[in-house]
Structure 1
């Protein structure tokens, strides 16, 4: 199955009318898409009650891609709010237990920062992360091009396959070394992840801009770009049972429209979605 969705459910104004409250946005979101990325888990390990509420507000077949906490991927600035690394991972595992119990956890996404390059120490840390996550499906996304240069590309893919990582394939500006090319190779037969970050080269290379998040993901894919990706997705689906496609170009409100556009190109009409709320008038 090809699962198309968005990163987060709060910032997609084109999906929600004035009748949809912030508390009901996920339920409305699930009437359009069968999967979503939980990005709030990156900024703070979420209370168990949040996952319980979110799984309860979505259909039985709905799937969550949960982003790993920033302290687990080296993004954290300053001291971690945990006494040990083990305590941090244990807290995260507890926070995602409701997704597992509801059979709604597609994968946990480990997105590493641009300074996480291809070194022996970092390879060892990836093994450590995978061991701590036990049997939970985990996707791996890099932001440093060294992992996929001519010297290490095949070794990186082989490592991901051997260690049972799900490949997170990115569409993003080619601003080396702080970005990676789209390597269209799933390393597992069950799941592969594609994340659309947009192609805003200027925004991607911004430095010392307090509004860098708003600028970086400001991009709207055109019809030709999505048609090209539709062919890539079809080929990936021939090799992999489940292809997860998430649009992260949220800054200008383009993600939801682009996701719907891609669904139309691929001829996808999902069943078993949540019932859609209707405006009173």
Structure 2
């Protein structure tokens, strides 16, 4: 049975920080991370989607967490094909992005990847890196161009652990699920299982596949029907019920029979809803199957 690690998709989310979950005396950057890491054995870094990480922050994250802690790090938006403002890049790279007319220069992507990965080396060297999470945009649907794009992304990240979250539902619909699993297994890439509202045309099915023996990943975004139209806060605002969480318990346990680690991360940002859901999920799974939080 593999280790099951339960945590949240951010420990710095504004709604969490303002909720009062962090105790007095532990509300600065160092105190927050140390407190979080005393409660949970895994966290997602989402700031790296919006801007490139720094070597200094990677070193601090490693220093402020206990041995065995894991960080799953989201890939920078430009690397996953999302719209990216030039201002999100280092100053010396902005003009290359601003003057493009069609597509993205592969040389720019290579340079961005080199800076992104180099900044994360302290995290990897310390044994704190869980995986890189490549979350692809909804417009990336199944088909040859998308497969070629995935292959290029994986080649660029050769030697690094990678997990893929598709936001186009077609990848995990019944007619494509086996092909998607086979592709990710071929690329030595972990599949990300998604929990979200299931009443929208864009709803990604809650398919839980294990495509690498090292890691399986679940990201729970909440079940708010404002997913397609609301603000970010509305989109992810949801308080999971025990019944909703229980749906994932057998899935997660089955995943743990096939992978050395399973990361279960909550992205329902509304006050302390994510940490409360993570605590409830850990209880439902049972302490024997979850990495202790020392």
TM-score normalized by the length of structure 1: 0.90
Q: Which residue number in structure 1 is paired with residue 10 of structure 2?
A: 8
Q: Which residue number in structure 2 is paired with residue 263 of structure 1?
A: 282
Q: Which residue number in structure 2 is paired with residue 92 of structure 1?
A: 116
Aligned equivalents of 2:291, 2:181: Cα separation in 1: 32
Verify: 1:59 aligned to 2:59, yes or no.
no
C-alpha contact 2:4 2:291 (8 A) present in aligned 1: no
Aligned equivalents of 1:158, 1:270: Cα separation in 2: 29
C-alpha contact 1:146 1:177 (8 A) present in aligned 2: no
Verify: 1:225 aligned to 2:239, yes or no.
no
Residue by residue, what CA displacement relative to the aligned partner does 1:138-165 show, whole Å, maximum 9, x if unpaired?
0000000121234322111110011111
SS in 2 for 1:31: helix
Q: Which residue number in structure 1 is paired with residue 264 of structure 2?
A: 245
Q: Which residue number in structure 2 is paired with residue 128 of structure 1?
A: 152
Verify: 1:68 aligned to 2:70, yes or no.
no
Of 168-177 and 96-105, the range deviating more from structure 2 = 168-177
Structure with the higher helix share, 1 or 2: 2
**Which portions of structure 1, spanning 4 or more consecutive aligned residues, are displaced by more than 4 angstroms?**
none
C-alpha contact 1:219 1:252 (8 A) present in aligned 2: no
SS in 1 for 2:248: helix
C-alpha contact 1:199 1:219 (8 A) present in aligned 2: yes
Unmatched runs of 5 consecutive residues or more in structure 1: 274-281
Aligned equivalents of 2:246, 2:206: Cα separation in 1: 16
Aligned equivalents of 1:37, 1:57: Cα separation in 2: 15
C-alpha contact 2:266 2:274 (8 A) present in aligned 1: yes
C-alpha contact 2:54 2:120 (8 A) present in aligned 1: no
Deviation (angstroms), 1:247:
0.5
Q: Which residue number in structure 2 is paired with residue 205 of structure 1?
A: 228
**Structure 1 segment 112-151 matched on structure 2, within 5 A:** 112-151=136-175
Residue by residue, what CA displacement relative to the aligned partner does 1:107-157 show, whole Å, maximum 9, x if unpaired?
000001111111211211111111111111100000001212343221111
Residue by residue, what CA displacement relative to the aligned partner does 1:61-105 show, whole Å, maximum 9, x if unpaired?
101100000111112244473341111111111111111110111
Q: CA RMSD in A?
A: 1.6
Of 11-20 and 252-261, the range deviating more from structure 2 = 11-20
Aligned equivalents of 1:243, 1:43: Cα separation in 2: 25
C-alpha contact 2:185 2:212 (8 A) present in aligned 1: yes
Of 57-66 and 21-30, the range deviating more from structure 2 = 21-30
Aligned equivalents of 1:40, 1:161: Cα separation in 2: 28
Verify: 1:163 aligned to 2:187, yes or no.
yes
Aligned equivalents of 1:110, 1:70: Cα separation in 2: 9
TM-score normalized by the length of structure 2: 0.86
